[in-house]
């Protein structure tokens, strides 16, 4: 394999990049050789600098991360999510001001992902030592996320804090006609009185 | 700017990667930290290993490149193209077996790209020293590519080799109805008798 093919092969390992985009990227990078090398050196440096917060599990430059160490935030509510990218999605809404706990995935027995592979002991420690009055379970409404929710609901039910679940329903701007029947029946079951 | 944002910023400089894909890539890379660092080191290594062929201008591991040094190929026809990616596109068809000359762009006076910024002196040297009987001008059928074609046609007309131009017309699988009028009139003007 010559160097260009090696370059394309390496680039095509990036998520969302197929062979065609990798070829395009490759030519672009070779056309801007110096800045490309600088850019990739920066990427490597950033990757090596980023740590995992020992409290919530988020990626951060300092441990504990800015969210865990921000005492302006609500320290009484803990939002449980599957992964780091969901934290960013929630933070971008600005609609939540509490703490987070990242599980590092969801239960998925078929791929051998049991409770031991998730950050559940860390969660129990935080609940035992913290002053949380509410736990908001925001795992994804998928098969894995739902089973993780049921599992967590089960083990957290006697920890003395209120348990809540993020709502499932028709997305804003969506239409009832084109909503799948599972979402629609869930939305009907979760109706709320005004 | 913290390290994660730096990472996203660097990744979003890749062509075809916006902020959203860069965020997704960033999380993916952090989830696979070690292999990501290795991958980017490989990318840097490949970029630094790749040279530019002093004959045709293609990216290659050795100079001259495998195409220029392959004496099985037709040494009497020279195909002039704008950039390296077009060489790959033509090679993938398998329909051309001659030599190439990469100009490194097209004439574009509005962006200050004149004949001096293209590899035209190298082209004239090759024509003077080589045994080419035909020059196939395969610049893109865009405004810049067409003016480059006219310019080349002008300076090459007295070099004693036949000049040809890659055909413009309705793409295979296309329909006359949805073809733009410039392409359609060009296709009609280029009709050939059977």
d(CA B45, CA A3): 9
Least confident of A113-117, A135-139, A157-161, B164-168: A157-161
Q: Cite the DSSP H helix spans in A15-142.
A: 19-31, 33-49, 84-93, 120-129
B3 to chain A: which residues are within 8 Å by CB? 46, 49-50, 61
Contacts 24+ apart (CB under 8 A), B8-17: B10/A39, B10/A40, B10/A42, B10/A43, B10/A46, B11/A43, B13/A35, B13/A39, B14/A25, B14/A28, B15/A24, B15/A25, B15/A28, B16/A21, B16/A24, B16/A25
Distance CA A161, CA A101 (A): 15
All residues of chain B having their beta carbon less than 8 Å from the beta carbon of residue A85 are 23-24, 27
Residue B142, chain A, CB below 8 Å: the answer is: no
Q: Determine the pLDDT at residue B158.
A: 85
Q: What is the mean pLDDT of residues A96-104?
A: 95
Element (H, E) at B32: none
State yes or no: pLDDT of B1 exceeds 80. no
Terminal-to-terminal C-alpha distance of chain A: 66
**Cβ atoms within 10 A of the Cβ of A55, count?**
21
Restricting to B residues 144-163, those with a Cβ less than 8 Å away from any Cβ of A are: none
First and final CA of chain B: distance in angstroms?
Answer: 66
The predicted-structure confidence for B58-84, as pLDDT tens digits, reads as follows 999 998 999 999 999 999 999 999 999
**Cβ–Cβ below 8 Å for B47 and A59:** no
Q: Can you tell me the distance from the alpha carbon of A69 to that of A99, in angstroms, rounded to the nearest whole number?
A: 10
pLDDT band at B123 (very low <50, low <70, confident <90, very high): very high
B3-49: CATH, from 3.40.50.620, 1.10.3720.10, 1.10.8.420, 3.40.50.720:
1.10.8.420
The answer to whether residues B24 and A85 touch, using CB atoms and an 8 Å cutoff, is: yes
B193 has pLDDT over 90: no
Q: pLDDT band at A155, cuts 50/70/90?
A: very high
Write down the pLDDT at residue B116: 93
* Confidence (pLDDT) at A191: 86
CB contact under 8 A, B30 and A59: yes
Determine phi and psi for A111, rounding to 5 degrees: -100, 15
A10 in contact with B, Cβ within 8 Å? yes
**Do B136 and B164 form a contact (C-beta atoms < 8 A)?**
yes
In this prediction, residue A2 carries a pLDDT of 84
Q: How confident is the model at residue A105 (pLDDT cuts 50, 70, 90)?
A: very high
Judge: B59–A27 Cβ closer than 8 Å, yes or no.
yes
- Identify the helix (H) or strand (E) that includes residue A194: none
CATH 3.40.1360.10 domain span(s) along chain B: 71-168+180-189
pLDDT given for residue B9 in this prediction? 93
Q: Is B192 helix (H, G, I), strand (E, B) or coil?
A: coil
Per DSSP, the residues of B103-143 read: -SS--BGGGTB-GGGTTHHHHHHHHHHS--SEEEE---SSH
pLDDT in tens, A23-35: 999 999 999 999 9
What DSSP state is assigned to residue A111? G
CB of B7 within 8 Å of any CB in chain A? yes
ipTM, 2 dp: 0.82
Measured at the CA of A13, the angle between CA B42 and CA A47, to 5 degrees, comes to: 65
Say yes or no for a CB contact (<8 Å) between A85 and B4.
no
Find the mean pLDDT for residues B16-40.
92
Question: Where does chain A hold its CATH 1.10.8.420 domain(s)?
Answer: 3-49
Q: Domain A71-168+180-189 belongs to what topology?
A: Dna Topoisomerase Vi A Subunit; Chain: A, domain 2 (3.40.1360)
pLDDT score, position A159 = 86
Of A63, A67, A39, give the one whose Cα is nearest residue A53: A63
What does pTM read for this prediction?
0.78
A187 to chain B, any CB pair closer than 8 A? The answer is: no
Per-residue confidence band for A97, with pLDDT thresholds at 50, 70 and 90: very high
- Residue A91: predicted pLDDT: 93
A contacts of B37 (beta carbons < 8 Å): 44, 47-48
Chain B: give the shortest CA distance to residue A159, in Å.
31
Average pLDDT over residues A104-117: 92
Is B120 a residue whose pLDDT tops 80?
yes
Q: Which residue is associated with the tokens 């009987």?
A: B133
């Amino acid at each position: 394999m010559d160097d260009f093919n090696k370059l394309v092969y390496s680039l095509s390992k990036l998520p969302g990049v197929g062979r065609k985009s990798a070829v395009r990227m490759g030519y672009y990078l070779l056309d801007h050789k110096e800045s490309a090398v600088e850019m990739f050196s920066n990427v490597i440096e950033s990757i090596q600098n980023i740590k995992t917060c020992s409290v919530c599990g988020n990626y951060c430059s300092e441990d504990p991360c800015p969210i865990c160490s921000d005492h302006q935030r609500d320290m009484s509510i803990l939002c449980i999510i599957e992964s780091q990218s969901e934290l960013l999605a929630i933070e971008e809404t600005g609609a939540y001001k509490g703490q987070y706990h990242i599980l590092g995935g969801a239960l998925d027995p078929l791929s051998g992902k049991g409770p031991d592979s998730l950050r559940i002991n860390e969660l129990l420690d935080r609940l035992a030592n913290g002053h949380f009055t509410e736990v908001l379970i925001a795992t994804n409404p998928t098969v894995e996320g739902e089973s993780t929710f049921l599992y967590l609901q089960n083990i957290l039910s006697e920890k003395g804090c209120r348990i809540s679940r993020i709502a499932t329903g028709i997305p804003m701007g969506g239409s009832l006609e084109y909503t799948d029947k599972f979402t629609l029946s869930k939305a009907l079951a979760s109706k709320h009185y005004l």
